[in-house]
Amino acid sequence: MPVTVQASTHDLLIQQGYKLVEDEWDNDGRRTVSHNDDASGSQIANLKMTLGSAGWVMDSNKLRSFYHANSGEMIELEPGGEDTTGHFLHHMKASD
């Protein structure tokens, strides 16, 4: 079975302590994971380094977003709310 960007990215995030919250990859082209740590500068820097090792780069046009040039996929970081610790990542397939 060939390794896809989606599978390796998902595995990479799970290895970094993210937990799968919603998996609509086959139906809607998106998957959401969460992490208990706040989206601090050091957390984002760590995420940038981790995702960078798999070909992801920060999107200079969108706040807290990454894109993968080869696949066109995106990851958006959503900080937790006022009464919440942690943050979410929304991994999305390339739009057609």
Question: What is the pLDDT, as a whole number, of residue 1?
Answer: 42
Compute the residue count for the chain: 96
Q: Assign 3-class secondary structure to the chain.
A: CCCCHHHHHHHHHHHCCCEEEEEEHHHHCEEEEEECCCCCHHHHHHHHHHHHCCCEEECCCCCCEEEECCCCCEEEEEECCCCCCCEEEEEECCCC
> Mean pLDDT, consecutive 10-residue segments, the chain of 96 residues?
60 92 94 88 87 92 92 92 85 87
Write down the pLDDT at residue 5: 53
- Domain boundaries in the chain? 5-92
Query: pTM for the complete prediction?
Result: 0.84
